[in-house]
Each structure stands twice: as structure tokens, then as C-alpha cells.
């Protein structure tokens, strides 16, 4: 439950989960996120320092945020990320501190992250075939990712999640092998529907492997998956198989969950987005650097959240002709529209 001070938006949704993007840069080029050859990066002087992030997080906790997830770009590219984890871990108002990573640099960082107080790790992994990995993310590194997952377990992380975006014709024949792999390393696999977010310039509905198709594939292999009732605000629906194993599906494209969405996103340069599909964000860096106090920042956040009406994915679902959300020329002009800037 959210605390008594929690801000509610116009649909009664509390502000609770904050995704903190710590860099817009990435060491992979996933086809569904960064398919272009060139990108325009945020200016370095705009990137928030750890102290600035910490002050903003304090203001967010004052209005009800109690869970943060570090993301990016690739968050492990941000130098000394463990220092930020330690700053966050010292905040009693935060009861969950998680990281989403592509896993490339996880093996060398897992122990320090754990020691600094990180609670949970989610690793994005879309394939177990080196050639598919190379085709999908346009870099080598599958072994590094698998080693990263091993090291995260060895470092003591429990409840590791593995996130898989399925693309028809690329990795949709790996539903069962990925599930078996995740189970073998005691991780929970979550299948994510390919979303038509900014950055996904090659998106088309016929490449989306839907929730229904994943359920059918797993049912054919293991028997009927049964929904698990838990935290109504979690993006993933979780399912239990007859053998006791579990998995999740994040069906943002065909069955959006905006009605219970308590998530917002802060970009590495301090733009606050109240919806993944929002065209504009709210600049929190300017007031912060102009000397706004924690209380003033909290009041600003509360005011914005109270007016929130976002239902981005539901509106996309209602769109008649669905294609990429933003065209590449517009992304070049405004990198804040990119998924790798928003943090996914
Ligand atoms: N680089 C890190 C990673 O890949 O885990 C963190 C940032 S990434 C933007 C966060 C998540 O967004 C990843 O799990 C990725 O698979 C997902 N993502 C990116 N583009 C997507 C798209 N078009 N549809 C669905 N998920 C997407
Ligand atoms: Fe892939 Fe994450 Fe990098 Fe996007 S930010 S290209 S999803 S690794
Ligand atoms: Fe939340 Fe926007 Fe995603 Fe809907 S589309 S679940 S409102 S972030």
C-alpha cells in the first residue's frame, strides 16, 4: 500500500515506482530499441550528478515513491554506479532498489552492487543463440551476459528476473529454451511484447508476439498456465505452470495496464516523464540547479502527478492504424523521445 502522503493522479493512481535512467548511452544496439546507425547523445553537462539524483529521489519519496529501478541506456556504463546505489540504499523510505541491465558488464559489477545495497537485478536476454544475439543487438556478448547472470547469483542476488522481448521470425522459436534456461538458473522469465515506443522505428504489429501466443506455446509444452494473483500494480502478469514453475508476461501492446500504473521515469538529465508514451517531460533539473529545496521540488512533483491523466498504451491500442510512434527525423531532433533515454 502507498503511504498516507502519497500523491494520487486524476485516476486515483499513486506515484510509487520511479525508474531512474542514469545514462542515455548503451553498449548494445537492440533492433527494437536502437536500430539506427547514429544517435545524438544528451550533453554531458546536463547529466545529473549522483548528489542531484539523490536530492530528487528524496523529493519523490516525500510524495509516495518507495521503489526505484536504475536503468538507461545501459546503467552499468555510468561510472561508479555503486556510489549511487549506496546513496539510495541509505534512504529508509525506499523499500526496493532494483537494476535493469543488458548484463554485458554485470559479472564484473555484481558483487560491488550487492555490497552497496542493491536489492534486485533484472537482466534483459532475448536469445541463447550467439548468431541471433549478434543479429538482434548488433554486438557480440552473449557469453558475457550469461556469465553476468551466474555472477549475480554467486553474489547473492535472489529473485533475479530475465526480460525477453520477442520478435516474430527472430527469437519467437526460443520461448521454451529461454524458459528452460531461466528455470535452470533459478530466475523468473518475463516475456515482453514488442512495443511501438519512441526509438522503435522499425515496429510493426506483425512482428509482435502476443501474450496469447506465448501462453499457447507454454501451454502446449507444459500444461495450462494459471494466473497468479499478486500486487495489482506490477507490469507483469505472473503465471503458474502445473509443475510449479512460474513466468511473467508484460503485454503492454495488446493488453495494456495503464489503469493501475504507478510508474514514472526520470531521464539522466532530469526530465520527469509521467508516461512512457508522453511526448513531453517536466524539467526538474532547472529548478534543482536554481536552488529549489526538497520541499519545493516535492510540491512541484505532487502538483504534476495530481493532474496526471496518462493512458499512453491504452490510447495506442485504440489507434486505428498502428505503426512506429515517432519517425526517425523527429527522434534526431528530440532524443528525449527515445526509449534508451527514457529508460524503458
Ligand atoms: N539497457 C538496459 C537493458 O536493456 O536492460 C536497460 C534499459 S532498456 C531501455 C530497458 C528495457 O526496455 C529492456 O528490457 C528492453 O528489452 C526494453 N525495451 C526496449 N525497447 C523496447 C521495445 N520497443 N519494446 C519492448 N521492450 C523494449
Ligand atoms: Fe538494448 Fe537496453 Fe541498449 Fe536499448 S538500452 S539498445 S534495450 S541494451
Ligand atoms: Fe503507465 Fe503510460 Fe505505460 Fe500506461 S503507457 S502503463 S500510463 S507508463
Within a domain: residue 12? no
Confirm whether 325 is domain-assigned: yes
The enclosing domain of 137 has a CATH number of: 3.20.20.70
In a domain? residue 302 = yes
pLDDT at 42: 97
Is residue 151 one of the residues assigned to a domain? yes
- Closest ligand 2 atom to residue 33 Cα is 4
Is residue 3 scored above 70 in pLDDT?
A: no
> Band of the pLDDT at 6, cuts 50, 70, 90?
confident
CB distance 72 to ligand 3 below 6 Å: no
In this predicted model, what pLDDT tens digit does every residue of 301-326 receive, in sequence order?
999 999 999 999 999 998 877 888 88
Buried b (16+ CB within 10 A) or exposed e, 209-246: bbbebbbebbeeeeeebeeeeeeebebbbbbebeeebb
Q: Which residue has the cell 502478469?
A: 237
Handedness of CA 266, 267, 273, 274 (dihedral sign): negative
In a domain, 3, yes or no: no
| Residue 209 banded pLDDT, cuts 50, 70, 90 | very high
- Which ligand 3 atom is the nearest neighbour of the CA of 278? 2
Q: What is the mean pLDDT of residues 132-136?
A: 98
- The confidence band for 1, taking pLDDT boundaries of 50, 70 and 90, is very low
Note whether residue 235 is domain-resident. Answer: yes
Q: Which domain holds residue 100?
A: 17-342
Ligand 1 lining (C-beta closer than 6 Å): 26, 32-33, 71-72, 74, 100-102, 124, 163, 165, 192, 194-195, 197, 200, 339-340, 343-344
Does residue 153 fall inside a structural domain?
A: yes
Return the pLDDT at 233. 67
Contact 230, 168 (CB under 8 A): no
Of the listed ranges 86-100, 286-300, 324-338, the one predicted with least confidence: 324-338
pLDDT at residue 230, rounded to an integer: 79
Is 1 part of a structural domain of the chain? no
Domains: count for the chain:
1
**Helical spans, DSSP H, in 161-256:** 175-184, 211-222
Q: Give the pLDDT confidence of 66-107 residue by residue, as tens digits.
A: 999 999 999 999 999 999 999 999 999 999 999 999 999 999
Of ligand 2's atoms, which has the minimum distance to the CA of residue 137? 1
Amino acid at each position: 500500500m502507498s503511504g498516507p502522503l502519497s500523491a494520487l493522479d486524476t485516476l486515483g493512481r499513486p506515484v510509487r515506482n520511479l525508474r531512474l535512467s542514469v545514462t542515455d548511452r548503451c553498449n548494445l544496439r537492440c533492433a527494437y530499441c536502437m536500430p539506427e546507425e547514429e544517435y545524438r547523445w544528451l550533453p554531458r553537462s546536463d547529466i545529473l550528478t549522483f548528489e542531484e539524483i539523490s536530492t530528487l529521489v528524496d523529493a519523490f519519496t516525500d510524495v509516495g515513491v518507495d521503489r526505484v529501478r536504475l536503468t538507461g541506456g545501459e546503467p552499468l556504463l555510468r561510472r561508479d554506479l555503486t556510489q549511487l546505489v549506496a546513496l539510495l540504499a541509505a534512504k529508509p523510505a525506499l523499500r526496493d532498489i532494483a537494476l535493469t541491465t543488458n548484463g554485458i558488464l554485470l559479472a564484473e559489477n555484481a558483487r560491488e552492487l550487492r555490497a552497496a545495497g542493491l536489492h534486485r537485478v533484472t537482466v534483459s536476454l532475448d536469445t541463447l543463440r550467439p548468431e541471433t544475439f549478434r543479429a538482434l543487438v548488433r554486438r557480440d556478448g552473449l557469453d558475457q551476459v550469461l556469465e553476468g547472470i551466474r555472477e549475480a547469483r554467486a553474489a547473492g542476488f535472489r529473485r533475479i528476473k530475465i526480460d525477453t522481448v520477442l520478435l516474430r521470425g527472430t527469437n519467437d522459436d526460443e520461448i521454451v529454451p529461454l524458459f528452460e534456461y531461466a528455470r535452470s538458473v533459478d530466475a523468473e522469465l518475463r516475456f515482453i511484447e514488442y512495443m511501438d515506443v519512441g526509438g522503435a522505428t522499425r515496429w510493426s504489429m506483425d512482428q509482435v508476439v502476443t501474450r496469447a501466443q506465448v501462453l499457447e506455446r507454454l501451454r502446449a509444452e507444459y500444461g495450462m498456465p494459471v494466473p497468479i494473483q499478486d500486487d495489482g500494480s506490477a507490469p507483469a502478469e505472473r503465471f503458474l505452470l502445473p509443475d510449479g514453475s512460474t513466468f511473467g508476461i508484460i503485454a503492454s501492446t495488446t493488453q495494456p495496464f495503464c489503469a493501475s500504473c504507478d510508474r514514472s521515469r526520470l531521464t539522466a538529465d532530469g526530465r520527469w516523464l509521467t508516461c512512457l508514451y508522453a511526448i513531453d517531460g517536466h524539467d526538474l533539473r532547472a529548478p534543482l540547479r536554481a536552488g529549489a529545496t526538497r520541499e519545493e521540488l516535492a510540491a512541484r512533483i505532487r502538483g504534476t502527478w495530481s493532474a496526471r491523466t496518462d493512458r499512453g498504451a491504452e490510447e495506442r491500442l485504440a489507434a486505428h492504424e498502428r505503426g512506429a510512434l515517432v519517425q526517425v527525423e523527429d527522434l534526431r531532433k528530440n532524443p528525449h523521445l527515445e526509449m534508451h533515454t527514457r529508460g524503458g
